[in-house]
Amino acid sequence: MSTLFKGTIVGLDIIDSTNINTIALVSTSSSLGVSGFFKKLVGDNSLNINGKNLEKIELLSSDFKGLFNVYGNDQIKARKLLNPTTIEHILKLASQDNLYALTIDQNYMIAAFEGDNIDIDLEPKFFLFKPRTNEGRIKNITDSVNQVQITAKKLYDLIK
């Protein structure tokens, strides 16, 4: 068994969002060996998210520096949503937090971050392992909360 992805999923339900668009950023990375099969399955120019058919959005090739392919339900509105400021924020998320994939579906956002930058490890250790100390356990919990809050704020700022 080999690990294809290790990271964190963060989903955000935004209250009072005015966004009515759906866009998806799919990593162009082929190092995991999935792109070929993925392309065969859904085609290069469209994909389906939450029952919605999304078309590939043609942006300037320099916009995402080849990191992501962008799909949306409306070419014009998607380009409007992905303004230079938003793209800059997304690139910052990619470089600093290892953003791997992002979908914005109206008032819902979900993002996958690769690696251990955000560590949500609340599970107890098995009895053969040495138990965590009180300080370590509480620090682990509070660190997880803080990391998730910071990341959520960054995502929230993308469309606010």
Partner 1 sequence: MNNKYVNILSFIFAVVFFIFWFNTGGHQFFEFLKKPTSEWQFFDYAILFAISTSIVAWLTQRKRNKIKDKVNTIYEEIKSEETIKTSGELDIPQELIDQVEKTRNTYVWLFLITTLILILLYVELTIITTPNSDIKIEEKSVWSIDLIFNLIPWFMFSALLASGLQWSYSKKYHSVYVDSVLNNLNLQDVKVSIINQNPKYAIKKYLPGMPYGQINGSETLVIVTDQYSVHAASITIDRHDNSGSGA
**Residues forming the site for partner 1 (CB under 8 A):** 1-16, 24, 26-27, 32-34, 36-38, 40-42, 47-50, 69, 100-101, 103, 105, 108, 110, 112, 118-124, 126-127, 131, 133-135, 137-139, 141-142, 144-146, 148-149, 151-152, 156
**Cα separation, 110 vs 108, whole angstroms:** 7
CA distance 149 to 156: 10
Q: Which of 22, 17, 151, 21 is nearest to 93 (CA)?
A: 151
Six-digit token string for 31: 């190092």
By beta-carbon proximity to partner 1, the closer residue of 24 and 84 is 24
Query: Smallest distance from the beta carbon of 96 to partner 1, in angstroms?
Result: 17
Compute the distance between CA of residue 41 and CA of residue 104 in angstroms, rounded to an integer: 22
To the nearest whole angstrom, how small is the minimum distance from the Cβ of residue 150 to partner 1? 11
What's the rounded Cα separation, in Å, for the pair 53 and 66?
23
Query: Half-sphere exposure of residue 33, counting CA atoms within 13 Å on the CB side?
Result: 3
**Residue 15 or 60 having the CB closest to partner 1:** 15
N- to C-terminal Cα distance for the chain?
41
Q: Closer to partner 1 at the Cβ: 84 or 135?
A: 135
Q: How far is the CB of 55 from partner 1 (least distance, A)?
A: 14
- Please identify, using beta-carbon distances, which residue of 51 and 84 lies nearer to partner 1: 51
In angstroms, give the least distance from the CB of 79 to partner 1.
20
User: Nearest distance from residue 129's CB to partner 1, in Å?
Assistant: 10
